[in-house]
Amino acid sequence: MTAGTEHDIAGTGIDDLMGRRVRLRQPDRGYRAGLDAALLAAAVELAPDERGLEAGCGVGGALLQVAARCPGARLVGLERDPQAVELAVGNIALNGMEDRVLIRAGDVALRFSHLALPPFDAAFANPPFFDDPRALRAPDPSRRGAWMADDGLAAWCEFLLKAVREGGRVTLVHRADRLADLLALLAPKAGSFRLRPVHPFPDAPAKRVLVRAVKTGKAPLVLLPPLILRDRGAEADRPEVAALLRGEAALGWD
């Protein structure tokens, strides 16, 4: 995903994403936007003039890739970490997207109504993968905020559902072993689930899952064909995965 890095702010570098369509300044150490952000961005669909919200946008890795993929959409990123907020604002300017992308400082633990924003057409997130400190061995302090959901996965799901209008879409990427929890948390207010497992190799269990739900949706759940990242022994991603990372393809939900 990284075609080159520049270092002109201490402790950060600029990475080229999506075939150089997006430039992202991020810390050299700690949590860095990578495959999960790219997969999430490839799974988000926004029509021209639709509005999308990313909860926990970090420095803007997924947010700006969605903006590049959906040039007519307007986007808001919510982030609680002050350093990440500062970098995200700078990344919006770096990519010349100030006219349709903005950052709000805030936390999913607070009610969506505190943002004083109308509901969105779509909301998306890559929630922290752990909500039990005992499940994460010796987390690096610089990564803890991105890996540990202090208020639990339930807070993320509740916030995303509040953030969208009726008929609005919620899209998440998460650990495959949390799929049952995601469905249980979203199901009271959402339906029309579409699920796409992500496997590292053809013969390996899924490590990630992409989930899309529709608020008040009633259609049956659909389990889509898996996305397989790489063949055993291969040195590069499968061509369809490489096309996704370059922004030349999208993860459709059909």
What share of the chain has pLDDT > 90, as a percent?
Answer: 80
CATH topology classification for 5-245:
Rossmann fold (3.40.50)
Domain boundaries, the chain: 5-245
Which has the closest alpha carbon to 17: 1, 33, 38? Answer: 1
- For the segment 155-182, what is each residue's pLDDT rounded down to a tens digit? 999 999 999 999 999 999 999 999 999 9
33 or 236, higher pLDDT = 236
Beta bridge mates, 132: none
Confidence bin at 10 (pLDDT 50/70/90): low
Examine the pLDDT at 1 and tell me if it is beyond 60: no
The yes-or-no verdict on residue 6 having pLDDT over 80 is no
Q: When comparing pLDDT for 10 and 85, which is higher?
A: 85
- pLDDT, tens only, 212-228: 999 999 999 999 999 99
pLDDT at 145 over 50: no
- pLDDT, tens digit, 9 for 90 and up, residues 108-136: 998 899 899 999 999 999 999 856 555 54
The answer on pLDDT for 4 being more than 80 is no
> Does the structure show a pLDDT above 50 at 44?
yes
What is the Cα–Cα distance from 240 to 243, expressed in whole angstroms? 5
Quick one: pLDDT at residue 31?
76
Q: What is the mean pLDDT of residues 56-85?
A: 96
Residue 143 structure tokens: 């990564």
Please tell me the predicted confidence (pLDDT) of residue 151. Answer: 65
Whether residue 138 has pLDDT greater than 50 = no
pLDDT, position 130: 52
pLDDT of residue 248: 95
Residue 29: band (very low, low, confident or very high) from pLDDT cuts 50, 70, 90: confident
